[in-house]
Amino acid sequence: MMSRLLAVFNARNKEFWRDRSSLAWNFAFPFLLVFGFYFIFGQGMPMFKVGVISEHDAYISRPAFMQLSHIQFVPYEELDQALNRARRHQIDLVLDLDRQLYWVNEESRNGYVAERLLVNADPEFNRRVVQGEPIRYVDWVLPGIIGMNIMFSSLFGVGYAIVRYRKNGVLKRLKATPLSAFEFVSAQILSRLLTVMLVASIIYFGSHWALSTLMLGSAFSLLVTLFIGALALISLGLAVASRSRSEELTGGLMNMATWPMMGLSQVWFSLEGAPPMVQSLANALPLTHLVSAAREITTEGASLMQVSDHLLILVGMTALFLGVAALLFNWDSDHR
């Protein structure tokens, strides 16, 4: 029994070590994750988040409160923007350094403690009050979950299917018909769009109905945003799968595309206050724009015009990914 077990054990080890692409991925991926999270959260999570308004970039009249540890100070250019965050409990206090004013949301527990610290350190600051229900985490995270679902369904649903078709000869059989690559790819995109939109609508409106999740914007704006976002992610899936014949390699590439988006596209947590480089990287990912636009619509009541910057970027990314996919697309399979 032992020799049989050892024989299979050895064969499996050889298979693993000789499959270069999956071997490299197995080693690289955990390292990328560890380094990525170290970089993003290397300094630990702060206890409080305080918005700061000042005309002066260097905060000339820096109060004693700002010397305290474990508080993250997030600069805002617009007071209204910062106050909206405080109303929704996304930041705990707002400080106007130039006018020595602060705003606190009296319904926020964190706001209460942060205010005590401020008053103790800098009693000269004058109090103002904002009011507003907190955005529940479920309200905040729902657009992220829908975006993540769209991402996985688009990338794996289209990318994997095409690689599988290429590998098992379905694509080759289709190539022998008058069907063009454009027709084939368009059909894949439309089919996946229909599925993704249906699932996303059911999740969103089902949650809204069952859990009364927040919807401050219009359902139409949300659907348009999800549609454009799904198109960008499906195109990315097509680009990744345009040439590959290996399901293992495609799986690796898909993971490489999805994991940074899972971590950086603010699906689960906000990147507010993260290093600028991380934020730049996040802005290069399609899911970031999909989730941000959807979240602005549902939790802030934004209109399509107000999220048009995100939508334009998504349209641009779609064009880029489709261009790459069209340029690289290959029908041929391994079968000869």
For another protein, the binding residues (CB under 8 A) are: 165, 168-170, 172-179, 332, 335-336
Write down the least CB distance from residue 178 to another protein, Å.
Answer: 5
Q: Nearer Cβ to another protein, position 123 or 178? A: 178
Question: Would you say the C-alpha torsion 159, 164, 170, 172 has a positive or negative sign?
Answer: positive
Residues 225 and 311: beta-carbon distance below 8 Å: yes
Q: Which residues fall within 8 angstroms of residue 328, CB to CB, at 6 or more apart?
A: 239, 242, 243
Write down the least CB distance from residue 158 to another protein, Å.
Answer: 15
Q: Nearer Cβ to another protein, position 194 or 319? A: 194
The phi and psi torsions of 51 (rounded to 5 degrees) equal -85, 140
Write down the least CB distance from residue 294 to another protein, Å.
Answer: 32
**Which residues, listed in sequence order, are joined to residue 49 by a DSSP beta bridge?**
72
Write down the least CB distance from residue 281 to another protein, Å.
Answer: 38
Region of residue 212 (phi > 0: left; psi between -120 and 50: alpha; otherwise: beta): left
Q: Nearer Cβ to another protein, position 15 or 332? A: 332
Q: Which residues of 156-187 are buried (b: 16+ CB within 10 A; e: fewer)?
A: bbbbbbbbebbbeeebbebeeeeeebeebbee
- Helix residue spans in 169-300 (DSSP H): 170-175, 181-211, 219-241, 247-264, 276-283, 286-300
Write down the least CB distance from residue 203 to another protein, Å.
Answer: 24
Q: Nearer Cβ to another protein, position 48 or 165? A: 165
Rg, Å, the chain Cα set: 25
Q: Nearer Cβ to another protein, position 42 or 178? A: 178
Q: Nearer Cβ to another protein, position 169 or 301? A: 169
Write down the least CB distance from residue 169 to another protein, Å.
Answer: 5
Q: Which residues of 34-57 are buried (b: 16+ CB within 10 A; e: fewer)?
A: eebeeebeeeeeeebbbbbbbeee
Helical pair 247-264 and 20-41, crossing angle rounded to 10 deg = 0
Tokens 């955990």 sit at which residue?
30
Write down the least CB distance from residue 157 to another protein, Å.
Answer: 13
Q: Nearer Cβ to another protein, position 298 or 333? A: 333
